[in-house]
Amino acid sequence: MQNFALALFLTLILYPGPESNRYGFPQVFETSASTNSATRAFVIWESGVQNYPNVFDSQKILLKIVRFFAKNYIFHYICDPYLKAMNYKVKLFSGSTTRTLAEKISKSYGQELGKVSLLRFSDGEIQTSYEETVRGSDVFIIQSTMPPTDNLFELLLMIDAAKRASAHQIIAVLPYFGYARQDRKDQPRVAIGAKMVANLLSAAGATRIVTMDLHADQIQGFFDFPVDHLYASSIFLPYIQSLNLPNLTMAAPDMGGSKRANAYAKFLKSDIVICYKQRAKANVIESMTVIGDVEGKDIVLVDDLIDTGGTLTKAADMMLDRGATSVRAVCTHAVLSGKAYENIEKSRIVELVVTDTIPLTQESSKIKVLSVAELFGKVLHSVHSFESISSNFIVS
Protein backbone atom coordinates (compact mmCIF):
# COMPACT_ATOMS: atom_id res chain seq x y z
CA MET A 1 0.00 0.00 0.00
CA GLN A 2 2.89 2.33 0.73
CA ASN A 3 4.37 1.57 -2.69
CA PHE A 4 1.04 2.35 -4.31
CA ALA A 5 0.70 5.64 -2.44
CA LEU A 6 4.25 6.60 -3.36
CA ALA A 7 3.68 5.78 -7.01
CA LEU A 8 0.45 7.78 -7.05
CA PHE A 9 2.24 10.76 -5.49
CA LEU A 10 5.09 10.56 -7.99
CA THR A 11 2.74 10.17 -10.92
CA LEU A 12 0.47 13.09 -10.01
CA ILE A 13 2.99 15.49 -8.50
CA LEU A 14 6.65 14.81 -9.29
CA TYR A 15 6.86 12.78 -12.49
CA PRO A 16 7.17 15.10 -15.50
CA GLY A 17 6.95 12.30 -18.10
CA PRO A 18 8.61 12.17 -21.48
CA GLU A 19 6.19 14.70 -22.90
CA SER A 20 5.37 16.95 -19.99
CA ASN A 21 3.64 20.31 -20.18
CA ARG A 22 4.45 23.45 -18.20
CA TYR A 23 2.60 22.15 -15.13
CA GLY A 24 4.78 19.02 -14.87
CA PHE A 25 1.96 16.67 -15.90
CA PRO A 26 2.16 14.36 -18.93
CA GLN A 27 1.12 16.10 -22.12
CA VAL A 28 -1.78 13.68 -22.52
CA PHE A 29 -3.53 15.58 -19.68
CA GLU A 30 -4.48 18.34 -22.08
CA THR A 31 -7.27 16.50 -23.88
CA SER A 32 -10.37 17.86 -25.52
CA ALA A 33 -12.63 20.26 -23.63
CA SER A 34 -15.40 17.69 -23.56
CA THR A 35 -13.30 15.21 -21.53
CA ASN A 36 -14.27 15.35 -17.86
CA SER A 37 -11.83 15.82 -14.99
CA ALA A 38 -12.00 12.19 -13.88
CA THR A 39 -11.06 10.83 -17.32
CA ARG A 40 -8.13 13.23 -17.67
CA ALA A 41 -6.82 12.34 -14.21
CA PHE A 42 -6.81 8.63 -14.90
CA VAL A 43 -5.00 9.01 -18.18
CA ILE A 44 -2.20 10.36 -15.96
CA TRP A 45 -2.49 7.34 -13.67
CA GLU A 46 -2.18 4.96 -16.60
CA SER A 47 0.90 6.87 -17.77
CA GLY A 48 2.34 6.29 -14.32
CA VAL A 49 1.68 2.56 -14.60
CA GLN A 50 3.64 2.46 -17.85
CA ASN A 51 6.61 4.34 -16.41
CA TYR A 52 6.70 2.53 -13.03
CA PRO A 53 5.84 -1.12 -13.88
CA ASN A 54 7.71 -2.64 -10.94
CA VAL A 55 5.82 -0.54 -8.42
CA PHE A 56 2.42 -1.13 -9.93
CA ASP A 57 2.69 -4.83 -10.86
CA SER A 58 1.54 -5.97 -7.43
CA GLN A 59 -1.27 -3.43 -7.31
CA LYS A 60 -3.19 -4.07 -10.54
CA ILE A 61 -6.37 -5.20 -8.87
CA LEU A 62 -6.27 -2.40 -6.32
CA LEU A 63 -5.61 0.10 -9.08
CA LYS A 64 -8.73 -1.03 -10.93
CA ILE A 65 -10.83 -0.66 -7.79
CA VAL A 66 -9.44 2.79 -7.02
CA ARG A 67 -9.89 3.86 -10.64
CA PHE A 68 -13.54 2.85 -10.55
CA PHE A 69 -14.20 4.52 -7.20
CA ALA A 70 -12.40 7.74 -7.98
CA LYS A 71 -13.87 8.04 -11.46
CA ASN A 72 -17.42 7.68 -10.19
CA TYR A 73 -17.20 9.46 -6.85
CA ILE A 74 -14.12 11.48 -5.95
CA PHE A 75 -13.94 13.85 -8.89
CA HIS A 76 -17.67 13.91 -9.58
CA TYR A 77 -18.78 14.72 -6.05
CA ILE A 78 -15.80 16.67 -4.73
CA CYS A 79 -14.02 18.43 -7.58
CA ASP A 80 -16.61 18.93 -10.31
CA PRO A 81 -19.17 20.95 -8.26
CA TYR A 82 -16.57 23.58 -7.38
CA LEU A 83 -15.35 23.80 -10.96
CA LYS A 84 -18.89 24.11 -12.25
CA ALA A 85 -19.80 26.81 -9.72
CA MET A 86 -17.12 29.02 -11.25
CA ASN A 87 -18.62 28.57 -14.71
CA TYR A 88 -22.29 29.27 -13.97
CA LYS A 89 -23.32 32.91 -13.82
CA VAL A 90 -25.49 34.21 -11.00
CA LYS A 91 -28.63 36.17 -11.82
CA LEU A 92 -30.71 37.86 -9.09
CA PHE A 93 -34.33 38.79 -9.77
CA SER A 94 -37.12 40.22 -7.66
CA GLY A 95 -40.87 39.95 -7.61
CA SER A 96 -42.96 43.06 -7.14
CA THR A 97 -43.79 42.59 -3.44
CA THR A 98 -40.36 42.57 -1.81
CA ARG A 99 -38.49 44.76 -4.28
CA THR A 100 -36.94 46.94 -1.56
CA LEU A 101 -35.56 43.95 0.34
CA ALA A 102 -34.33 42.37 -2.92
CA GLU A 103 -32.37 45.53 -3.74
CA LYS A 104 -30.71 45.39 -0.31
CA ILE A 105 -29.87 41.70 -0.76
CA SER A 106 -28.40 42.32 -4.21
CA LYS A 107 -26.29 45.17 -2.81
CA SER A 108 -25.03 42.90 -0.04
CA TYR A 109 -24.32 40.18 -2.60
CA GLY A 110 -22.44 42.64 -4.77
CA GLN A 111 -24.52 42.33 -7.92
CA GLU A 112 -27.37 44.33 -9.40
CA LEU A 113 -30.84 42.87 -9.82
CA GLY A 114 -31.63 41.48 -13.24
CA LYS A 115 -34.25 42.99 -15.50
CA VAL A 116 -37.67 41.35 -15.47
CA SER A 117 -41.00 42.55 -16.78
CA LEU A 118 -44.06 41.99 -14.58
CA LEU A 119 -47.20 42.99 -16.46
CA ARG A 120 -50.83 42.91 -15.38
CA PHE A 121 -53.78 42.77 -17.71
CA SER A 122 -56.87 44.80 -16.91
CA ASP A 123 -58.57 41.74 -15.40
CA GLY A 124 -55.62 41.16 -13.02
CA GLU A 125 -53.87 38.38 -14.97
CA ILE A 126 -50.09 38.40 -14.44
CA GLN A 127 -47.46 37.95 -17.16
CA THR A 128 -43.73 37.65 -16.45
CA SER A 129 -40.83 38.00 -18.86
CA TYR A 130 -37.07 38.13 -18.34
CA GLU A 131 -35.45 41.00 -20.20
CA GLU A 132 -32.02 39.36 -20.26
CA THR A 133 -30.73 35.86 -20.89
CA VAL A 134 -30.71 33.36 -18.03
CA ARG A 135 -29.56 30.36 -20.10
CA GLY A 136 -27.16 28.23 -18.07
CA SER A 137 -27.30 30.60 -15.09
CA ASP A 138 -28.02 30.04 -11.40
CA VAL A 139 -31.16 32.13 -11.00
CA PHE A 140 -32.20 33.45 -7.56
CA ILE A 141 -35.78 34.76 -7.46
CA ILE A 142 -36.58 36.82 -4.36
CA GLN A 143 -40.24 37.06 -3.36
CA SER A 144 -42.14 36.72 -0.08
CA THR A 145 -45.47 34.94 -0.47
CA MET A 146 -47.76 36.65 2.01
CA PRO A 147 -51.38 37.18 0.91
CA PRO A 148 -52.84 37.99 -1.50
CA THR A 149 -52.17 34.82 -3.50
CA ASP A 150 -51.03 37.02 -6.42
CA ASN A 151 -47.63 37.15 -4.72
CA LEU A 152 -47.30 33.36 -4.73
CA PHE A 153 -48.57 33.02 -8.28
CA GLU A 154 -46.22 35.73 -9.52
CA LEU A 155 -43.31 33.75 -8.04
CA LEU A 156 -44.54 30.54 -9.69
CA LEU A 157 -44.72 32.27 -13.07
CA MET A 158 -41.19 33.65 -12.66
CA ILE A 159 -39.91 30.17 -11.81
CA ASP A 160 -41.65 28.67 -14.83
CA ALA A 161 -40.29 31.39 -17.13
CA ALA A 162 -36.73 30.75 -15.88
CA LYS A 163 -37.14 27.01 -16.40
CA ARG A 164 -38.36 27.50 -19.99
CA ALA A 165 -35.46 29.90 -20.59
CA SER A 166 -32.97 27.08 -19.79
CA ALA A 167 -31.70 28.32 -16.42
CA HIS A 168 -29.23 25.90 -14.81
CA GLN A 169 -30.63 26.16 -11.28
CA ILE A 170 -33.69 28.04 -10.03
CA ILE A 171 -33.45 29.01 -6.36
CA ALA A 172 -36.64 30.48 -4.89
CA VAL A 173 -35.76 32.88 -2.08
CA LEU A 174 -38.81 33.28 0.13
CA PRO A 175 -37.93 35.50 3.10
CA TYR A 176 -41.48 34.82 4.30
CA PHE A 177 -43.08 31.48 3.40
CA GLY A 178 -46.82 32.08 3.17
CA TYR A 179 -49.40 29.45 4.24
CA ALA A 180 -46.85 28.00 6.68
CA ARG A 181 -49.43 28.04 9.48
CA GLN A 182 -51.35 25.33 7.63
CA ASP A 183 -48.70 22.70 8.26
CA ARG A 184 -50.85 19.80 9.49
CA LYS A 185 -54.37 18.44 9.54
CA ASP A 186 -55.46 19.60 12.99
CA GLN A 187 -59.18 19.09 12.41
CA PRO A 188 -61.36 17.12 9.99
CA ARG A 189 -61.71 18.11 6.33
CA VAL A 190 -59.02 20.82 6.19
CA ALA A 191 -56.25 21.39 3.67
CA ILE A 192 -52.52 21.30 4.43
CA GLY A 193 -51.69 24.58 2.73
CA ALA A 194 -47.93 24.48 3.34
CA LYS A 195 -47.63 21.11 1.59
CA MET A 196 -49.68 22.37 -1.35
CA VAL A 197 -47.40 25.39 -1.76
CA ALA A 198 -44.37 23.09 -1.64
CA ASN A 199 -45.90 20.98 -4.43
CA LEU A 200 -46.58 24.09 -6.52
CA LEU A 201 -43.02 25.37 -6.18
CA SER A 202 -41.65 21.96 -7.14
CA ALA A 203 -44.00 21.59 -10.13
CA ALA A 204 -43.11 25.09 -11.36
CA GLY A 205 -39.44 24.11 -11.54
CA ALA A 206 -37.69 25.35 -8.39
CA THR A 207 -34.56 23.34 -7.55
CA ARG A 208 -33.89 24.84 -4.12
CA ILE A 209 -35.58 26.99 -1.47
CA VAL A 210 -34.03 29.60 0.81
CA THR A 211 -36.38 30.85 3.51
CA MET A 212 -36.44 32.14 7.10
CA ASP A 213 -38.16 31.10 10.33
CA LEU A 214 -40.79 28.70 9.08
CA HIS A 215 -43.82 28.43 11.34
CA ALA A 216 -42.88 24.77 11.83
CA ASP A 217 -39.48 23.24 11.06
CA GLN A 218 -41.05 20.08 9.65
CA ILE A 219 -42.25 22.03 6.59
CA GLN A 220 -38.76 21.43 5.20
CA GLY A 221 -39.80 17.79 4.82
CA PHE A 222 -42.55 18.77 2.37
CA PHE A 223 -39.86 19.36 -0.27
CA ASP A 224 -37.90 16.73 -2.20
CA PHE A 225 -35.02 19.11 -2.87
CA PRO A 226 -32.71 21.17 -0.61
CA VAL A 227 -34.19 23.78 1.73
CA ASP A 228 -31.90 26.32 3.41
CA HIS A 229 -33.78 27.37 6.54
CA LEU A 230 -32.38 30.56 8.08
CA TYR A 231 -33.09 31.93 11.54
CA ALA A 232 -33.61 35.54 12.58
CA SER A 233 -31.95 34.75 15.91
CA SER A 234 -28.63 35.81 14.39
CA ILE A 235 -30.14 39.30 14.04
CA PHE A 236 -32.35 39.48 17.12
CA LEU A 237 -29.96 38.13 19.73
CA PRO A 238 -27.24 40.79 19.27
CA TYR A 239 -29.98 43.45 19.47
CA ILE A 240 -31.42 41.99 22.69
CA GLN A 241 -27.93 41.88 24.19
CA SER A 242 -27.41 45.53 23.28
CA LEU A 243 -30.44 46.52 25.40
CA ASN A 244 -28.61 45.45 28.60
CA LEU A 245 -31.87 44.65 30.38
CA PRO A 246 -31.15 44.04 34.11
CA ASN A 247 -33.71 41.27 34.69
CA LEU A 248 -34.10 39.79 31.23
CA THR A 249 -36.61 36.97 30.84
CA MET A 250 -37.59 35.39 27.55
CA ALA A 251 -41.24 34.50 26.97
CA ALA A 252 -43.14 32.32 24.52
CA PRO A 253 -46.58 33.68 23.56
CA ASP A 254 -47.94 30.12 23.25
CA MET A 255 -46.88 26.51 23.78
CA GLY A 256 -45.82 26.15 20.16
CA GLY A 257 -43.18 28.86 20.57
CA SER A 258 -41.61 27.39 23.72
CA LYS A 259 -38.77 25.70 21.81
CA ARG A 260 -37.74 28.99 20.20
CA ALA A 261 -37.98 30.94 23.47
CA ASN A 262 -35.98 28.26 25.29
CA ALA A 263 -33.18 28.47 22.67
CA TYR A 264 -33.01 32.25 23.12
CA ALA A 265 -33.05 31.94 26.94
CA LYS A 266 -30.30 29.31 26.89
CA PHE A 267 -28.05 31.50 24.74
CA LEU A 268 -28.74 34.64 26.82
CA LYS A 269 -28.56 32.71 30.11
CA SER A 270 -31.92 34.11 31.20
CA ASP A 271 -35.14 32.77 32.69
CA ILE A 272 -38.12 31.73 30.58
CA VAL A 273 -41.89 31.96 30.98
CA ILE A 274 -44.59 30.50 28.77
CA CYS A 275 -48.07 31.76 27.95
CA TYR A 276 -50.82 29.20 27.61
CA LYS A 277 -53.75 30.27 25.45
CA GLN A 278 -56.94 28.78 24.10
CA ARG A 279 -58.52 30.10 20.91
CA ALA A 280 -62.25 30.33 20.22
CA LYS A 281 -61.37 30.57 16.50
CA ALA A 282 -58.57 31.91 14.29
CA ASN A 283 -57.21 35.26 15.60
CA VAL A 284 -59.63 35.18 18.58
CA ILE A 285 -58.25 34.25 22.03
CA GLU A 286 -60.67 32.72 24.50
CA SER A 287 -58.38 32.57 27.54
CA MET A 288 -54.71 33.01 28.46
CA THR A 289 -52.49 32.40 31.47
CA VAL A 290 -48.75 32.57 32.13
CA ILE A 291 -46.53 29.79 33.43
CA GLY A 292 -43.62 31.18 35.44
CA ASP A 293 -42.66 34.17 37.58
CA VAL A 294 -42.71 37.57 35.83
CA GLU A 295 -42.64 39.95 38.80
CA GLY A 296 -39.87 42.54 38.46
CA LYS A 297 -38.72 41.05 35.14
CA ASP A 298 -37.97 42.69 31.79
CA ILE A 299 -39.90 40.42 29.46
CA VAL A 300 -39.02 39.83 25.80
CA LEU A 301 -41.66 37.87 23.90
CA VAL A 302 -40.32 35.98 20.88
CA ASP A 303 -42.35 34.56 18.00
CA ASP A 304 -41.98 33.74 14.32
CA LEU A 305 -44.71 36.15 13.19
CA ILE A 306 -47.21 38.73 14.35
CA ASP A 307 -50.58 38.89 12.63
CA THR A 308 -53.31 40.95 14.28
CA GLY A 309 -51.21 41.45 17.41
CA GLY A 310 -53.95 40.12 19.67
CA THR A 311 -51.82 37.43 21.34
CA LEU A 312 -48.84 39.69 22.03
CA THR A 313 -50.81 42.63 23.35
CA LYS A 314 -52.93 40.44 25.63
CA ALA A 315 -49.82 38.64 26.88
CA ALA A 316 -48.13 41.98 27.59
CA ASP A 317 -51.12 43.25 29.57
CA MET A 318 -51.30 40.06 31.61
CA MET A 319 -47.58 40.09 32.47
CA LEU A 320 -47.57 43.76 33.40
CA ASP A 321 -50.60 43.18 35.62
CA ARG A 322 -48.61 40.45 37.36
CA GLY A 323 -45.72 42.78 38.15
CA ALA A 324 -43.44 42.70 35.11
CA THR A 325 -41.24 45.79 34.75
CA SER A 326 -41.45 46.01 30.96
CA VAL A 327 -42.55 43.94 27.96
CA ARG A 328 -40.99 43.92 24.50
CA ALA A 329 -41.55 41.60 21.55
CA VAL A 330 -39.38 40.33 18.71
CA CYS A 331 -41.14 38.75 15.73
CA THR A 332 -39.52 37.75 12.46
CA HIS A 333 -42.41 38.29 10.06
CA ALA A 334 -44.55 41.42 10.35
CA VAL A 335 -47.80 40.20 8.78
CA LEU A 336 -49.72 42.91 10.69
CA SER A 337 -53.19 42.42 9.27
CA GLY A 338 -56.53 43.83 10.37
CA LYS A 339 -56.20 46.27 13.29
CA ALA A 340 -52.64 45.21 14.10
CA TYR A 341 -51.09 48.68 13.91
CA GLU A 342 -53.86 50.14 16.04
CA ASN A 343 -53.55 47.32 18.57
CA ILE A 344 -49.80 47.80 18.89
CA GLU A 345 -50.03 51.58 19.29
CA LYS A 346 -52.62 51.22 22.05
CA SER A 347 -50.80 48.37 23.78
CA ARG A 348 -48.46 48.58 26.76
CA ILE A 349 -45.64 46.95 24.79
CA VAL A 350 -42.52 49.12 24.94
CA GLU A 351 -41.21 48.03 21.54
CA LEU A 352 -41.95 45.57 18.75
CA VAL A 353 -38.88 44.49 16.79
CA VAL A 354 -39.45 42.86 13.38
CA THR A 355 -37.48 42.13 10.22
CA ASP A 356 -38.07 43.35 6.68
CA THR A 357 -39.11 39.95 5.26
CA ILE A 358 -42.51 41.62 4.77
CA PRO A 359 -42.66 45.34 4.02
CA LEU A 360 -44.59 47.48 6.50
CA THR A 361 -47.72 49.15 5.16
CA GLN A 362 -47.51 52.06 7.59
CA GLU A 363 -45.16 53.51 10.17
CA SER A 364 -45.44 53.12 13.92
CA SER A 365 -43.45 54.69 16.73
CA LYS A 366 -43.35 51.35 18.54
CA ILE A 367 -42.11 49.22 15.62
CA LYS A 368 -38.40 48.84 14.90
CA VAL A 369 -37.26 47.06 11.71
CA LEU A 370 -34.00 45.10 11.45
CA SER A 371 -32.90 44.06 7.97
CA VAL A 372 -32.14 40.48 6.95
CA ALA A 373 -30.50 41.57 3.68
CA GLU A 374 -26.89 41.00 4.74
CA LEU A 375 -27.69 37.53 6.09
CA PHE A 376 -29.43 36.50 2.86
CA GLY A 377 -26.60 37.99 0.79
CA LYS A 378 -24.03 35.83 2.60
CA VAL A 379 -26.14 32.70 2.29
CA LEU A 380 -26.74 33.16 -1.43
CA HIS A 381 -22.97 33.40 -1.92
CA SER A 382 -22.54 30.16 0.02
CA VAL A 383 -25.29 28.39 -1.92
CA HIS A 384 -23.71 29.26 -5.25
CA SER A 385 -20.19 28.24 -4.18
CA PHE A 386 -21.27 25.02 -2.40
CA GLU A 387 -20.12 26.27 1.01
CA SER A 388 -21.62 25.59 4.42
CA ILE A 389 -24.12 28.11 5.81
CA SER A 390 -23.90 26.90 9.43
CA SER A 391 -21.63 29.80 10.42
CA ASN A 392 -24.63 32.13 9.94
CA PHE A 393 -26.59 30.49 12.76
CA ILE A 394 -26.46 31.49 16.42
CA VAL A 395 -29.39 29.39 17.67
CA SER A 396 -31.98 27.49 15.66
Active site residues: 277
Q: Contacts from 220-224 at CB under 8 Å and sequence distance 24+?
A: 222/194, 222/195, 222/198, 223/198
Q: Could you give the CA distance from residue 145 to residue 167 in angstroms, rounded to a whole number? A: 22
Q: Are 349 and 366 in contact (CB under 8 A)?
A: yes
Q: Tell me the HSE value of 85 on the side-chain side, using a 13 A CA sphere.
A: 14
Maximum Cα interatomic distance, the chain, rounded to a whole number of Å: 88
* Burial (Cβ within 10 Å: 0-12, 13-18, ≥19) of residue 2: exposed
Q: Could you give the CA distance from residue 312 to residue 327 in angstroms, rounded to a whole number? A: 10
Q: Could you give the CA distance from residue 47 to residue 211 in angstroms, rounded to a whole number? A: 49
* Nearest alpha carbon to residue 384 among 143, 213, 139, 202: 139
Measured from the Cβ of residue 38, the count of other Cβ atoms closer than 10 Å reads 18
Q: Could you give the CA distance from residue 376 to residue 230 in angstroms, rounded to a whole number? A: 8
